[in-house]
């Protein structure tokens, strides 16, 4: 499942849409100097520039207090020239991540982490949903993977991937099972999956003997090693699965492309050019 090709097409379409729509501005906030987070921010800024979105780079030292970060978010909320805000996670341990996400203007929350956006998704409205879950759904659609009636297993329950993706699959009429670090006998669940999504950040967690013949397997994991970047799914799964996303080149490019879509969507919401769609 080639995420790069689909992401490239999405970005080309976005260029035209943004040129027609007008200015779109996305602010990113990075606290500290985590190397992986710095790479992600750089890639997001490069992609934004490529499609005509103006990226605003806000960086704070690692010892920034929670109140200082909240103050910056409130300033960005109040800035009418800013359409979208992304606070890069993870945040340093002295900061309550949940409080920061609650502070975001929900109509600028391009990661879909504000309780309003999470609640809308729960109720079946796709207001602003995280880019990775949306990217996974777009990949399933691109490859015409049947979702309605399928057994979908999501390994991982994070607020940014596992939980929202489970809701999207449920709204698409899949029968959804959520597994996590406390799940007993993980293979008993994964072997039932027509659609298996793995998003835990554990190198090689899913092996070939844990996958149903002919399943569609989406590997969201990104594990950096001395040998390169690898996912949560062992390479041997390619012999069993009918569809498999590579790492890199699968979900990663889709996440960035769908983040840019969310920035444009946020701008449209704020200008009254879009209503909340039912999923």
Tens-place pLDDT, residues 95-120: 999 999 999 999 999 999 999 999 99
Per-residue tokens: 30: 């990075």
Tens digit of each residue's pLDDT (9 = 90 or more) over 136-166: 999 999 999 999 999 999 999 999 999 999 9
Q: Are strands 54-60 and 25-31 parallel, antiparallel or unpaired?
A: parallel
pTM of the predicted protein model: 0.95
Other Cβ atoms within 10 Å of 278 Cβ, number: 9
Q: Based on the residue annotation, tell me whether 111 is a catalytic residue of this protein.
A: yes
How do residues 253-266 score in pLDDT, each as one tens digit? 999 999 999 999 99
88 has catalytic annotation: yes
Token digits of residue 17: 């849409």
Among the options 58, 83, 88, 212, which is catalytic? 88
Region at 34 (left for phi over 0; alpha for psi -120 to 50; beta for the rest)? beta
Burial of 110 (0-12, 13-18, 19+ CB in 10 A): buried
DSSP-based three-state secondary structure for 25: strand
Q: Please confirm, yes or no, whether 63 is among the known catalytic residues.
A: no
Mention every residue, 6+ apart, whose C-beta is less than 8 A from residue 167.
121, 122
**pLDDT given at position 57:** 97
* Contact (Cβ atoms closer than 8 angstroms) between residue 206 and residue 190: yes
Tally of residues, the chain? 279
Phi, psi of 127 (to 5 degrees): -80, -85
What φ, ψ does residue 222 adopt, rounded to 5°?
-135, 110
Q: 3-state SS string over 84-144?
A: EEEECCCCCCCCCHHHHHHHCCHHHECCCCCHHHHHHHHHCECCCCCHHHHHHHHHHHHCC
Which candidate in 111, 194, 219, 232 is catalytic? 111
Counting as low any pLDDT under 70, the low residues of the chain are: none
- Chain-centre distance for alpha carbon 65: 26
Alpha helices in the chain (DSSP H): 3-21, 35-51, 66-78, 97-103, 115-123, 131-142, 162-171, 186-190, 251-270
């Amino acid at each position: 499942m080639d995420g790069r090709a689909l992401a490239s097409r999405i970005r080309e379409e976005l260029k035209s849409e943004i040129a027609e729509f007008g200015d779109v501005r996305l602010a990113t906030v990075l606290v500290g100097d985590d190397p992986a987070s710095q790479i992600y921010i750089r890639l997001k800024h490069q992609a934004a520039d490529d499609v005509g979105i103006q990226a605003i780079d806000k960086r704070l030292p690692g010892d920034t207090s929670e109140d200082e970060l909240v103050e910056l978010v409130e300033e960005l909320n109040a800035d009418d020239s800013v359409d979208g805000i992304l606070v890069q996670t993870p945040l340093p341990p002295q900061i309550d991540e949940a409080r920061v996400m609650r502070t975001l203007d929900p109509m600028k929350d391009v990661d879909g982490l504000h309780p309003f956006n999470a609640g809308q998704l729960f109720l079946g409205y796709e207001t602003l949903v995280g880019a990775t879950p949306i990217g996974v759904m777009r990949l399933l659609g691109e490859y015409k993977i049947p979702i309605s009636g399928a057994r979908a297993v999501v390994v991982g329950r994070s607020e940014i991937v596992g939980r929202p993706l489970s809701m999207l699959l449920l709204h698409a009429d899949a029968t959804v099972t959520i597994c996590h670090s406390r799940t007993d006998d993980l293979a008993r669940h994964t072997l039932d999956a027509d659609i298996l999504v793995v998003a835990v950040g554990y190198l090689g967690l899913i092996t070939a003997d844990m996958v149903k013949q002919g399943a569609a397997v989406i590997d969201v994991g990104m594990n950096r090693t001395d040998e390169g970047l690898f996912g949560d799914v062992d390479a041997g799964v390619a012999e069993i699965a009918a569809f498999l996303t590579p790492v890199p080149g699968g979900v990663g490019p889709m996440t960035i492309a769908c983040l840019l879509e969310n920035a444009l969507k946020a701008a449209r919401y704020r200008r009254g050019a879009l209503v909340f769609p039912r999923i």
